[in-house]
Structure 1
Amino acid sequence: MKSYIIGIDQSTQGTKLLLFDEAGKICYKNAKVHAQHIDERGWVEHDPEEIWENVKALVKEAVQAMELDGREIRAIGISNQRETAMAWNRETGKPVYPAIVWQCARGAAICEAIWGRGLAQNIADITGLPLSPYFSAAKLAWILQNVDGVNELMQAGKLCMGTIDSWLVYRMTKGQVFATDFSNASRTQLFDIHQLKWSEEAAGAFGIDTSALAEVMDSDGTYGATDFDGILASYVPIRAVFGDSHAALFGQGCQKPGMAKATYGTGSSVMMNIGKEPIRSEHGLATSLAWSISGEASYVLEGNINYTGAVITWLKDNLQLISSPAETEALAKGANPQDRSYFVPAFTGLGAPYWESDATGLYTGITRLTGKKEMVRAALDSIAYQIRDVVSIMEQESGHSLAALRVDGGPTKNGYLMQFQTDMLGCPVEVPDAAELSAIGVAYAAGIAIGIYDAATIFDQMERKSFRPDMPEARRDELLKGWQAAIRQTIHAVYDGCERINPY
């Protein structure tokens, strides 16, 4: 009988399922999108039940397509959109409110109130995260403050609060397991990254009882078993849970200090492995757990960017400048090199390293030279500029000069963007031959955990295309100077000339 590993990547736009064979090769993949509920305030939500039904449908289709009965499936790994937060009734298993997506800044007032009480520094020291509505805590606090009956459920011990991974594990195990891993826990702004446990102080600041939070387990722990509500003929162990960016770091083989990756998704996570001890960032980066494998925790520095791949979607769906993301490469290459326009994609605020949740998007430097091609190029360039800003601070604070940046995600297929990225960084950018690094990461971790894959060799089979810098340094410096001016202009608009006070 053949052996297979399922890798599930539950991301912002949809859910992917990949099937891996005994050699770690992808032998099947499929995906389903789910609805993005966005209102006039910019609030972003997902339906957790829709996500769960999509997971089951993907498993059923995989079993049918591969003619499996389920006994050949040896283990399951799950990666998930991380800071997206939700709450559900512990007894009924029903969500009390839709999942609030990581992009949603509705918790800004909650963070401002905590900052006003003088607690921001303590929270940052404990959790490694700058106080921000980006993270899960403020979203969960918003649910407690705004949804009738939820506080009463928490006080009665009948509330589960967590991230999407803990929801899926709960549903997959029919409510028997309520657990999350160290990587996801460290992104909630409720977890003590030094003591490796939920922080009563941080949770108390947000009005959250830690008894409503999931058990925190190793990323390669045993999270129960599932038959996906009878779709499989037997129960299969869930043997890996990672946040999606952490899973991609693991899948990229970045397991030594100083190695880094960037995931180009709806937004971007730029993440550097910093080893067994945390490093405190003074410039807006987050310190998180990379993972905990077999009881040993590793740390990362990370910068989170709200809008990267979503900028391309905006060009297509909102501006209708393109009909397909594939068009952007040729348009950008054909843009007038004398054009000096810049685009800052702060649709719902700026993430790392600026953390301006009230910022809005800005096109600047527009002249008569600026047309469709130039606007598309400025949008693509904004992705590379944002990632370069984060990498620059990461190198400074970690003491590691980046030998190469390993990248993944749909936009990495864009040759113009990858070349511009390496030119802005001044170091090679390496694109793997496989795109689904988050699913690869959790599948490999699950396979290693049950002994199917060899941790020393499984990552060696990945091939990479390398982009290398060829832009003159003076040209790069000129472009970066213009980008920083655009960022200053964006931030100045938030404060309207007042002294800048950033509570986050």
Structure 2
Amino acid sequence: MGKYVLVIDEGTTGTRALIFDSDFNIAAQAYQEFTQYTPQENMVEHDAMEIYAKSVGVCREAIEMAGLSSDDIACMGITNQRNTCVVWDKNTGEPLYNAIVWQDSRTGQAVDAIKQTEWEEKILQETGKVIAPHNNALIIKWYMDNVPEIKEKIENGEALYGTMDTWMIWKLTGGKTHAVSCSNASSSGCIDLRTGEWHNEFLDYIGVPKDIFPVIQSESSDYGTTDLFGSAIPITGAVADQQSALFAQGCLEPGTMKCTNGTGSFMDINIGPEFNIASGGVDNLIAWKLGDTITYAVEGFVSVTGSAVQWLRDGLKIIRKSSDIEALAASVPDTNGVYFVPALVGLTTPHNDPFARGMLIGITRGTTEAHIARATLECIAFGIKDILDVVERECSVKIEEIKIDGGASENNLLVQMLADYCDARVSRPDTLEATSLGAALMAALYVNMIGLEDVKNVLNTDQVFEPKIDPVLRDTRSLEWKEAVKRSLNWIRH
């Protein structure tokens, strides 16, 4: 058997292939961005075929870079952006419309209608998730109502639905496996959280047929094989990106948590095998299922954090590349009273308002690009603090340590702000590729390359950040931030 693990890490802005050796060090990696389509202000779409083609391409590139062949690869894992979903023709393998991305809020009015009924609370209590535009049942219903070909294909039994792990597995196996990992199924908002199975009553209520849905499997299991890279490689791991990072960070015990800073920022806390619902705007998820054991998590996320930095780069053009923001923000001691609410596609946890819009407030004649850059980093920390406040209240815990990962976590100024405003120690590991590592570990578990207890010790701490800010200043700025958020809520309804 081979000694390496191949992973596809399919994110929101690009897809990466990584090869891990038997010690779970990265032997090679390749990356390509893919196109972001925004047909309207509240819409974000991807070309699923472009994602598949580029994912295959970066896998081939990584294998070549490592000097390996398919015979050297023991297994393959997949991790992916969650809630993004696609419907395709099961006979031709062609998508019937662009994939609708988790950041998209076109179903906001449908969400609003549900919130006026008893189903709002029922959905939270049974699926674990606050009803939101990224709910996959609502997206599928939008497809059916707005794309005649999709409605026709579904009615004729010729269409399949999947999250991006399902899509990739189906394509990689030549259409032999139509399956979804338990973590992605949970994130879709369409399952009964107690059983880990599709929630038939909810799907019937929305008007979405269950027969287009994939089979739900555990994160470490047999998803078939792919022969696209030579001899057959077994696909033995699939896990949603945030749950994958939680697993890789060794957060296997109740009360342990991580925060991933990428396109968005996601805070997840392991709450163990007991099913409990936390409210207050956070989501309740299946973290993973191993064997017959389900592990649950509570999560809050801010959808626009790293992508807010991209907006400074591509929209305002005040930085040339995303990494430039740290030096620009550090060139001033504070924001000079400027606050940036990054509600570019609405606000998620804990506000869950698809009608909020982005806002810069506190601007004076003394405001510079540096103040705006610093306010952008601060808004990421504030958004995470808002989630932490809810998690600590709902779960009756005090979080002393936050384990971080994701590309934006390289920014030392941002990480220090996170420690300051969350009043917690922040630990950064020696590799920020926790999301892809989690998929590698899930795949390796199935083929006995690693044991579950060993997972806790794979990542090592590289640097620890302690809170430094004056507590009075922390409280003052946090209150001002909350006031700024209030003014952005419900904006496009005015």
TM-score by length of 1: 0.95
Give 1:414 deviation, angstroms.
0.9
Q: Please give the residue correspondences for 1:245-394 in structure 2 after superposition, counting only pairs within 5 Å.
A: 245-337=242-334, 339-394=336-391
- 1:454 counterpart = 2:436: no
Instruction: Give, in angstroms, the shift of residue 327 of structure 1.
Output: 2.0
Q: What amino acid is the match of 1:327?
A: D
Correspondence for 2:47: 47
The equivalent position to 1:395 in structure 2, one of 384, 389, 392, is: 392
In 2 relative to 1, CA 40–156 (structure 1 residues): closer, same or farther, beyond 3 Å? Answer: closer
| Structure 2 counterpart of 1:119 | 119
Structure 2 equivalent of residue 199 of structure 1: 199
> How has the CA–CA distance of structure 1 residues 196 and 314 changed in structure 2, closer, same or farther, with 3 Å as cutoff?
same
Query: Residue 478 of structure 1 is aligned with which of 458, 476, 479?
Result: 476
Q: How does 1:60-209 map to 2 (within 5 A)?
A: 60-209=60-209
Aligned to 2:234: 237
Indicate the SS of the match to 1:407: strand
Indicate conservation of the 8 Å contact 2:257/2:267, yes or no: yes
Q: Secondary structure at the match of 2:489?
A: helix
Shift of 1:192: 0.5
Matches within 5 A, 1:214-225: 214-225=214-225
Q: Secondary structure at the match of 1:375?
A: helix
Deviations 1:434-464 (A, max 9, x none): 1211110010111122111233234424222
RMSD: 1.5
Instruction: Choose 418-427 or 334-343, whichever is displaced more.
Output: 334-343
Q: Secondary structure at the match of 1:186?
A: helix
1:492 positional shift: 6.1
Task: Tell me which of 407, 420, 431 is aligned to 1:423.
Answer: 420
AA matched with 1:41: E
CA distance in 2, matches of 1:450, 1:327: 42
Deviations 1:347-400 (A, max 9, x none): 110000001101111111122332111111011100000001001110111122
Query: Would you say the 8 A contact 2:28–2:63 is kept in 1?
Result: no
Q: 2:441 aligns to what?
A: 444
1:463 aligned partner? 460
User: How far 1:418 sits from its partner (Å)?
Assistant: 0.5
Distance (Å, rounded) in 2 between the aligned partners of 1:63 and 1:495: 51
Greater CA drift, 353-362 or 122-131: 122-131
On the 8 A contact 2:335/2:375 being kept in 1, the answer is no
Deviates more, 1:322-331 or 1:258-267: 322-331
Q: Distance in 1 between matches of 2:9 and 2:493?
A: 39
Shift of 1:495: 5.8
CA contact (8 A) 1:2 1:72 kept: yes
Q: CA deviation at 1:269?
A: 1.4
Change (3 A) 1:424 1:146: same
TM-score normalised by structure 2 residue count: 0.97
CA distance in 2 between partners of 1:297 and 1:2 (Å): 30
Query: For the residues of structure 1 that align with 2:241 and 2:220, how far apart are their CA atoms?
Result: 14
Displacement of 1:60 after TM fit? 1.7
Q: 1:415 to 1:85 in 2, by over 3 A?
A: same
SS at match of 1:421: helix
Offset of 1:431 from its aligned partner? Answer: 1.0
| Mapped contact 1:286–1:303 kept (Cα < 8 A) | yes
Could you list the runs of 4 or more consecutive aligned residues of structure 1 that deviate by over 3 angstroms after TM superposition?
Answer: 113-118, 492-496
Question: Quick one: percent identity of the two aligned structures?
Answer: 31
Amino acid at match of 2:361: T
- Cα separation, 1, equivalents of 2:490 and 2:307: 24
Is the contact between residue 19 and residue 63 of structure 2 (CA under 8 Å) also seen in structure 1? no
Range that drifts further, 140-149 or 164-173: 140-149
1:487 deviation in Å?
0.9
**How far did residue 200 of structure 1 move?**
1.1
SS of the aligned residue for 1:161 comes to strand
> What does residue 210 of structure 1 align with?
210
Q: CA deviation at 1:91?
A: 1.9
Contact persistence 1:275–1:298 (CA under 8 A): yes
Q: Partners in 2 of 1:452 and 1:282 — Cα distance?
A: 39
Deviates more, 1:29-38 or 1:335-344: 335-344
Stretch deviating more after TM superposition (421-430 or 367-376): 367-376
Residue type matched to 1:416 in 2? L
Pair 1:336–1:405, CA change in 2 (3 A): closer
Q: Is the 8 A contact 1:336 1:369 kept in 2?
A: no
Q: Secondary structure at the match of 2:484?
A: helix
Counterpart-to-counterpart distance in 2, 1:484 and 1:140: 34
Secondary structure (helix, strand or coil) at the match of 1:326 reads: helix
SS in 2 for 1:133: coil
Could you tell me which amino acid in structure 2 is paired with residue 439 of structure 1? S
Note if contact 2:356-2:490 (Cα within 8 Å) is conserved in structure 1: no
Supply the distance in 2 between the matched residues of 1:117 and 1:391 (Cα, whole angstroms).
29
1:29 paired to 2:29 = yes
- Tell me, yes or no, if the aligned pair for 1:126 and 1:202 is still in contact at 8 Å: no
Report the number of matched residues: 493
CA gap of 1:83–1:492, structure 2 versus 1, over 3 A, is: closer
Secondary structure of residue in 2 paired with 1:441: helix
Change (3 A) 1:338 1:118: closer
Relative to structure 2, which stretch is displaced further, 145-154 or 303-312?
Answer: 145-154
Distance in structure 2 (CA, Å) of the matches to 1:467 and 1:101: 33
Whether contact under 8 Å (1:267, 1:305) holds in the other structure is yes
In structure 2, runs of 5+ residues without a counterpart are: none
SS of 2:110 mapped into structure 1: helix
Residue type matched to 2:288 in 1?
Answer: W
CA contact under 8 A between 1:10 and 1:79: conserved in structure 2? yes
